[in-house]
Structure 1
Amino acid sequence: MSIHADINKCLAELGRLAPDGYFIGLHIRFAAPVMQFQTYPEAWSDHYTREAYALRDPTIAWGFSAEGASRWSEFTLPDPFNILGEARKFGLNYGLTVSCGPISSRTIASFTRRDREFTDDEIVAISHQIRRLHDITQPPESLTKAQIEALRCIAAGDRHAAAAAKLGISESALKARLLSARERLMARTTAETIQRAKEYRLL
Structure 2
Amino acid sequence: MRLRNKPWAKDFMGEHPDVLILEEEGKNINWKETFGNEQPIHVEVGTGKGQFVIGMALANPDINYIGVEHFDNVIVSALEKVIEADKPSNLRLIRGNGANLEQLFGAGELDRVYLNFSDPWPKTRHAKRRLTHESFLARYENVLKAKGEIHFKTDNRKLFEYSLVSMSTYGMQLLDVSLDLHAEMPEDNIMTEYEEKFSAKGQPIYRLEAVYNN
Give the TM-score band, short-chain normalised.
under 0.3
Structure showing the higher strand proportion among its residues: 2
Q: Which has the larger radius of gyration?
A: 1
Structure showing the higher helix proportion among its residues: 1
Q: TM-score by structure 1 length?
A: 0.26
Q: TM-score by structure 2 length?
A: 0.25
